[in-house]
């Protein structure tokens, strides 16, 4: 039995061998962008955080397109990539918005509830999607998590028009609404994976980067 187990283990690829997969590299690049977003959120450098959050979406969408073009991927490669992408999604679209909300609220305990709600909704939604998948050929049940970042970086463009206290309420309410939509029964279209939508996201990402980058200069 021990010899058989050793033989099976020998047939399995190493953990780090999957890092060579280009689609997984895109996923990890998105995770790096989210780490920067979290870092800058904690430092209250919100414009830099917004750039990190939108680039996380760009790399997330890119990994799907890259995976579609890789004809040599095995079933194990696809399964691993799917699991990695899902685990990273909860950081990109759950943890990052939660920490953004906490930081903008000066880590007031009142903001813990909102942070928990959007993080919990992300985990619940991902678990549901991993169980049931798409609703039909190209629709999700509820709002896909990548929309959290796309919408939040847009809402933050209006931060300058409010005082800090008022905008903290706007941000709090926005996170609660997004969380509710994430776990809703509404059918929403699958935007990623479509070439036209990817081009639109590229333009949006570059525009957001320019606008917030200009504020950082």
| pLDDT at residue 6, rounded to an integer | 43
- Give phi and psi for 193, each to the nearest 5: 95, -15
Overall CATH class of domain 21-216: mainly alpha
| pLDDT at residue 9, rounded to an integer | 52
Q: Is 59 exposed, middle or buried (0-12, 13-18, 19+ CB in 10 A)?
A: buried
| pLDDT at residue 200, rounded to an integer | 94
Instruction: For residues 167 and 207, give the distance between their C-alpha atoms in angstroms, rounded to a whole number.
Output: 22
SS3 string, the chain, reads: CHHHHHHHHHHCCCHHHHHHCHHHHHHHHHHHHHHHHHHHHHCCCHHHHHHHHHHHHHHHHHHHHHHHHCCCCCHHHHHHHHHHHHHHHHHHHHHHHHHHHHHHCCCCCHHHHHHHHHHHHHHHHHHHHHHHCCCCCCEEECCCCHHHHHHHHHHHHHHHHCCHHHHHHHHHHHHHHHHHHHCCCCEEECCCCCHHHHHHHHHHHHHHHHHHHHHHC
| pLDDT at residue 2, rounded to an integer | 46
Query: pTM (2 decimals)?
Result: 0.90
What are the tens digits of pLDDT across the range 76-114? 988 998 899 999 999 999 999 999 999 999 999 999 999
Q: Name residues of the chain where pLDDT drops below 70.
A: 1-10, 136-137
| pLDDT at residue 70, rounded to an integer | 80
What are the tens digits of pLDDT across the range 143-165? 999 999 999 999 999 999 999 99
Q: Where along the chain do its domains lie?
A: 21-216
CA-based nearest residue to 101, from 158, 169, 52: 169
């Amino acid at each position: 039995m021990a010899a058989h187990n050793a033989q099976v283990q020998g047939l399995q690829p190493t953990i780090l061998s999957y890092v060579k997969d280009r689609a997984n590299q895109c996923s990890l690049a998105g995770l790096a962008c989210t780490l920067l977003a979290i870092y800058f959120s904690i430092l209250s450098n919100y414009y830099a955080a917004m750039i990190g959050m939108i680039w996380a979406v760009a790399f997330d969408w890119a990994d799907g397109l890259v995976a579609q073009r890789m004809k040599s991927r095995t079933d194990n490669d696809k399964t691993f990539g799917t699991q990695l992408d899902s685990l990273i999604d909860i950081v990109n679209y759950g943890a990052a918005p939660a920490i953004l909300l906490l930081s903008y609220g000066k880590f007031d305990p009142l903001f813990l509830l909102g942070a928990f709600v959007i993080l919990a909704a992300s985990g619940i939604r991902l678990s549901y999607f991993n169980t049931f998948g798409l609703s039909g050929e190209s629709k999700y049940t509820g709002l896909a998590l990548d929309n959290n970042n796309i919408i939040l970086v847009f809402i933050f463009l209006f931060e300058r028009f409010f005082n800090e206290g008022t905008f903290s309420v706007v941000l709090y309410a926005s996170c609660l609404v997004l969380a509710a939509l994430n776990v809703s029964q509404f059918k929403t279209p699958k935007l990623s994976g479509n070439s036209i939508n990817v081009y639109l996201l590229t333009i949006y990402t570059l525009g957001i980067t320019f606008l917030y980058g200009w504020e950082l200069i």
